Amino acid sequence: MVALLRDRGVREITVPRRRDYDLTHEADVTRLYRDAAPDVVIHLAAEVGGIGANQANPGRYFYANMAMSLHLIEEARRVGLRKFVQVGTICAYPKHTPVPFREDDLWNGYPEETNAPYGVAKKAALVMLDGYRRQYGLASSYLLPVNLYGPWDNFDPLTSHVIPALIRKCLEASERSAPAIECWGTGRASREFLFVDDAAEGVVRAAELLDEPTPVNLGTGCEITIGELVQLVADACSYTGEIRWDASKPDGQPRRCVDASRAQALLGWRAATPLAEGLARTVAWYRAHRSHRAGYDPSLAGGN
């Protein structure tokens, strides 16, 4: 995102880190707005992980994500911010949303249980932005990206999402000549994945073009089962061992795939990176950088 903004000619960019500003604390958010004096806020910060992390931290994930949005949006109103861009989550959709997910279905049910605290907290920010637009005139936009992946992702085995977790698992298994790897669930659940560069372009276009928090999906429209994904990642990592499934572990939401036609209509945006290409680029990046990432620090990567 920072690289893309610089390419667009933006020179004054502040990227707050938790060690300096804990966005779950109102006083820190007030101090951040005072120190940075922004005219546009792009809210990417999150406390988030894969299925295991979601199961282990439902209370914390709801509180942290709700608190960050609550304080950042309220302070935006107080200072008269020009625009607020909120990045939501595909986890906000109901568990049994018809595929492909359309933005009009966002409120037609409760999210999948393991994702619900995080998803509901992010979706509540949409309600807040809509209310603040109508009452206070705060310009904003709201995006719903599918599962993201790419360079600079979180590869920690305890908190990472599925693609970085699989890349690390397959590379380490390949180096040990391990006969098998174990994966959660049945492999039958489906997901959709968006390369980080494509996601960043969509977010920047929303900042440039949208002034109302109409929910907008960002995705490729290409659905893949987790079983198929694991094989793709194994191939990208040159791992040839057996893949074993632990069906006692949850699959999460049964299916995920979005209709991104609204993004094309409103933003002129369409995903450009095929999954195989994105995986190859991500694996290459991780091979080159993993010795520097052994002790993962969220403050140095994507989250708050």
Chain center to CA of 232:
21
Pairing mode, if any, of strands 140-145 and 215-218? parallel
Which of 117, 161, 120, 123 minimizes the C-alpha distance to 142? 123
Would you tell me how many other CB atoms lie within 10 Å of the CB of residue 252? Answer: 22
| Residue 51 amino acid letter | I
Catalytic positions are: 118
Pairing mode, if any, of strands 180-184 and 242-246? parallel
Taking the CA atoms of residue 222, residue 233, residue 116 and residue 194 in that order, the dihedral angle to the nearest 10 degrees is: -40
Chain center to CA of 50:
11
Q: How far apart are CA 95 and CA 86, in angstroms?
A: 22
Alpha carbons within 13 angstroms on the beta-carbon side of residue 172 total 14
Q: How far apart are CA 128 and CA 83, in angstroms?
A: 14
Contact 212, 167 (CB under 8 A): no
Contacts of 24 (CB under 8 A, 6+ apart): 63, 64, 67, 68, 71, 304
| Residue 122 amino acid letter | K
